[in-house]
């Protein structure tokens, strides 16, 4: 438990800093928690429950010293889709299952693998989520009515366009007041949460000057209770598990990615290092417990984490205090939240969407005009026009194809021969016209895997057509072989054996060697045909020559060739320098 470890060096000064940071972040979290819950299609208090339970648990057990957790904008399109398809009760079960998955990710130490998702994919789906959140608040900003709930972006836009005639001028006025205060507060009074100021001022204006003219939390969702819900363990059946598993997997993956991205932001701001697996375990536990009390899925919140750090947080206790602040506000002031206009909350979410859009990085990647920019655009478009799962999956798949394509070009196959001047093997000697009909030496450089085997196979066809007596492969620059590469080597061995030819390998690295030994291919090649140095391998190759065929040969590829060419009997072989590499 990270919080307990910090007690050894914790003092009153740290408590004061954590109290200030926790109070400010708690105040910031209140309007966001309600807004994200409403945008996700559930009652606003469920966002507060999540902030209290998940926020405290993740701060106590997490692997990041400054992480603040709760409902986030990234979850909005996913949770809204689940609610529309299955309902709120099943969302709680999906969140519980996602918690188990995230917990297992941490237990099996998969935290570092989540970080391997390409940046264009992360930027693309984050920007896509921002567009979905922003567009989803247009109707509340304009005060539109009679809209059908739609999951598709295009259908949502169609509904807004069709119902534009129902716009409410009072809602627009309240929304503009809230938005103006949010923007101006950030510029001129940054120490006071702009979202809270905008919410309070615009609510007071609506309450005193335009009563009963705009939709409020109370008129839409009813009064917010000022207490936590009772514990309720869901009834999970096998059929329900299968039905909700895809949704739970999406929530788990998104929650894991978002929490670790937030922890990385905290690391960069404080020059610290988080424990990714411990963070996932805490996120998993929190997402298992929160649904039992009515909470929706939670993850690390980048903006609130940054706010926590900027306001001087000294330890993870600031996150605990932030949860307690939200709990106190819920108990003492919840009934008053019913008068908050939805138009007051819409600009807050729009502003969050604008800030999370990563527009600068989006444009920067686009300017590169590389495969990364294509991955970015595909991920973004799929996220907006299809769904988040397809967006992330499509982006990762395209990135994988691009990576394989790029890596396939890294394998180089060069025919080489020793240079008489320094006895080092070089491709230039072959290019000058020297050759040996019986011994072919090839240098392989780069990984030999499923994406690069085609390149080697093209060269291999030419090699086997020439029917060398000995094929010597120099593999000291092959760092990795997969089973596709091993299968190709096996194919070479079979064809060479069929024609009573020989394969010799020199300089093979640890991973390729271990793979060949594990598959048994080393026995088919012959353990005596593996050498650490090219010089020793070449001596073995020369011992396999058919010296009768050497008579009259004018290639003189090796130093022994002059004797072998002139003598009608088997010439005595000299050792070719072991300095060959």
The region, left, alpha or beta by phi > 0 then psi within -120 to 50, assigned to residue 127 is alpha
Give a yes or no: residue 301 inside a domain: yes
Among the ranges given (79-88, 121-130, 216-225, 454-463), the one the predictor scored with the smallest mean pLDDT: 454-463
Domain shared by 340 and 467, yes or no? no
116 pLDDT higher than 80: no
Percent of the chain with pLDDT over 70: 95
Q: State the total domains in the chain.
A: 2
In a domain, 372, yes or no: no
Please check whether residue 39 is in contact with residue 80, taking contact to mean a CB–CB distance below 8 angstroms: yes
Compute the distance between CA of residue 375 and CA of residue 336 in angstroms, rounded to an integer.
Answer: 47
Closest by CA position to 506, among listed 529, 474, 463:
474
Q: At what angle do helices 388-408 and 238-270 cross, to 10 degrees?
A: 60
Phi then psi for residue 42, to 5 deg, are: -125, 175
Query: What is the structure's pLDDT at 284?
Result: 96
Q: Is the pLDDT of residue 323 over 90?
A: yes
Q: Residues 6 or more apart from 527 whose CB is under 8 A from it?
A: none
pLDDT in tens, 406-422: 887 788 888 888 877 76
Domain that holds residue 509: 412-566
- Per the domain annotation, does 577 fall within a domain? no
Q: How far is 261 from 266, CA to CA, in rounded Å?
A: 9
CB-based burial label for 487 (10 Å; 0-12, 13-18, 19+)? middle
- Same domain for 350 and 416? no
Residue 577's closest CA among 550, 546, 530, 538? 538
Say which CATH number the domain at 439 has: 3.30.750.24
| Structural domain contains residue 46 | yes
Are residues 440 and 342 part of one domain?
Answer: no
For the chain, the first-to-last Cα distance in angstroms comes to 54
Residue 97 has pLDDT above 90, yes or no: yes
Q: Is the pLDDT of residue 358 over 60?
A: yes
Q: Are residues 178 and 35 in the same domain?
A: yes
Residues 193 and 336 in one domain: yes
Q: Are residues 352 and 432 in the same domain?
A: no
The answer to whether residues 280 and 103 touch, using CB atoms and an 8 Å cutoff, is yes
pLDDT at 576: 40
pLDDT in tens, 178-203: 999 999 988 887 777 788 899 999 99
Question: Cα–Cα distance between 403 and 411 in angstroms, integer?
Answer: 14
Rounded CA gap, 71 and 48, in Å? Answer: 9
Residue 69 lies in a domain: yes
Q: Is residue 402 part of a domain?
A: no
pLDDT, tens only, 484-507: 999 999 988 998 888 888 999 999
My answer on whether 321 and 421 are in the same domain is no
């Amino acid at each position: 438990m990270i919080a307990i470890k910090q007690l050894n060096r914790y003092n009153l000064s740290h408590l004061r800093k954590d109290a200030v940071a926790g109070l400010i972040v708690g105040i910031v979290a209140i309007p966001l928690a309600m807004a994200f819950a409403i945008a996700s299609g559930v009652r606003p208090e469920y966002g507060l429950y999540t902030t209290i339970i998940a926020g405290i648990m993740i701060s106590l057990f997490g692997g990041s010293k400054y992480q603040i957790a709760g409902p986030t904008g990234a979850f909005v399109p996913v949770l809204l889709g689940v609610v529309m398809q299955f309902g709120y009760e099943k969302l709680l079960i999906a969140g519980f299952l996602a918690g188990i998955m995230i917990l297992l990710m941490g237990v099996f130490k998969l935290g570092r693998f989540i970080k391997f998702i390409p940046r264009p994919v992360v930027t693309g789906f984050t920007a896509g989520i921002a567009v979905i959140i922003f567009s989803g608040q247009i109707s509340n900003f304009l005060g539109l009515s009679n809209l059908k709930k739609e999951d598709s972006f295009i259908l949502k836009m169609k509904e807004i366009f069709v119902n534009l005639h129902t716009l409410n001028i009072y809602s627009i006025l309240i929304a503009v007041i809230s938005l103006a205060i949010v923007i101006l507060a950030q510029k001129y009074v940054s120490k006071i949460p702009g979202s809270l100021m905008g919410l309070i001022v615009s609510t007071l204006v609506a309450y005193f000057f335009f009563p009963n003219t705009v939709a409020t939390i109370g008129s839409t969702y009813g009064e917010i209770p000022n207490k936590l819900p009772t514990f309720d363990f869901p009834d999970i059946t096998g059929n329900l598990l299968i039905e909700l598993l895809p949704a739970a997997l999406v929530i788990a993956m998104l929650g894991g990615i978002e929490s670790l991205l937030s922890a990385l932001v905290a690391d960069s701001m404080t020059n610290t290092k988080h424990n990714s697996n411990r963070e996932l375990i805490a996120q998993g536990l929190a997402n298992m417990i929160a649904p039992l009390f009515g909470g929706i899925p939670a993850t690390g919140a980048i903006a609130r984490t940054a706010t926590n750090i900027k306001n001087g947080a000294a330890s993870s206790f600031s996150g605990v205090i932030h949860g307690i602040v939200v709990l106190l506000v819920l108990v003492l002031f919840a009934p008053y939240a019913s008068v908050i206009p939805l138009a007051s909350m819409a600009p807050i979410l729009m502003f969050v969407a604008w800030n999370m859009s990563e527009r600068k990085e989006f444009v920067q990647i686009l300017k590169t005009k590389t495969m990364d920019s294509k991955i970015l655009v595909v991920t973004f478009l799929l996220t907006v026009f299809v769904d988040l799962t397809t967006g992330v999956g499509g982006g990762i798949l395209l990135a994988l194809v691009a990576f394989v394509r790029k890596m396939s070009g890294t394998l180089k196959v060069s025919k080489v021969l020793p240079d008489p001047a320094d006895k080092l093997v070089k491709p230039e000697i072959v290019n000058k016209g020297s050759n040996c009909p019986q011994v072919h030496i090839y240098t392989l450089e780069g990984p030999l895997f499923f994406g690069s085997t085609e390149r080697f196979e093209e060269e291999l066809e030419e090699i086997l057509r020439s029917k060398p007596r000995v094929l010597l492969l120099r593999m000291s620059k092959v760092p990795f072989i997969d089973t596709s590469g091993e299968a190709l080597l096996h194919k070479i061995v079979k064809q060479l054996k069929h024609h009573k030819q020989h394969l010799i390998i020199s300089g093979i690295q640890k991973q390729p060697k271990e793979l060949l030994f594990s598959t048994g291919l080393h026995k088919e090649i012959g353990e005596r045909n593996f050498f650490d140095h090219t010089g020793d391998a070449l001596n073995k190759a020369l011992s396999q020559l058919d010296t009768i065929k050497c008579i009259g040969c004018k290639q003189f590829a090796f130093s022994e060739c002059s004797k072998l060419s002139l003598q009608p009997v088997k010439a005595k072989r000299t050792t070719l320098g072991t300095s060959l590499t």
